[in-house]
Structure 1
């Protein structure tokens, strides 16, 4: 008759027999490069290339639009003047994401589509 501890021990031994044995790796020789870590990839600065600075919105440059009708031409001019990569027109009650983006200008408008605020984010 098996006892619960004997059954548990037998199960454990049976499962351990199925385990994969650890693999031994041979030691690397001093001059052996097969096991040497790969060098890091070159960066843009290593090659003399500099990345362009990120586009950052300048909402002060778009304040002239407050009070004006937000038509397509005005929206494009505000985007250009603020040097923003993205533009978003926000109408009253409109649901928008709360993520902050340095490269986006938000144009808030009222019910008559007049600009009430120009802000980055």
Structure 2
């Protein structure tokens, strides 16, 4: 009798596994049988995005660096000035030094006296 009880358990377990597999297979085939939604090909594409070019005069606003006049220049202050003026880069120049001809309007140039104090700021 013991053998029949074990075989009954095995058959019941196999039946539940088969039922689960049959259920999964029917769900899989039902998903494959759904038809895609018909979308006709049209030329009505959305327009491409528009990119705005900022004029070069507005790329750097040197007037925003006035707060630093007279202060001793260090790297942290130079980075704060660059951020506040909206410029892409910053550099220092000794007072009265001529700058190279190709000036970059997106760059902040900070004039520094021999003692290391800021005397002016300009774009270029």
TM-score by length of 2: 0.54
Could you say what secondary structure the match of 1:73 adopts?
helix
Query: In the TM superposition, what are the counterparts of 1:63-102 in structure 2 within 5 Å?
Result: 63-92=66-95, 96-102=99-105
CA distance in 1, matches of 2:103, 2:79: 21
| Residue ranges of structure 1 left out of the alignment (5+ in a row) | 1-45
* Runs of 4+ residues over 4 Å off in structure 1: 92-95
Please name the residue that 1:49 is paired with: 49
> Structure 2: any 5+ residue segments left out of the alignment?
1-45
Query: 1:75 deviation in Å?
Result: 0.2
Aligned residues between the structures: 76
Is 1:115 aligned with 2:118? Answer: yes
Q: 1:91 to 1:98 in 2, by over 3 A?
A: same
CA RMSD of aligned residues (A): 2.2
1:103 aligns with 2:106: yes
The aligned counterpart of 2:61 is 58
Whether contact under 8 Å (1:65, 1:118) holds in the other structure is: no
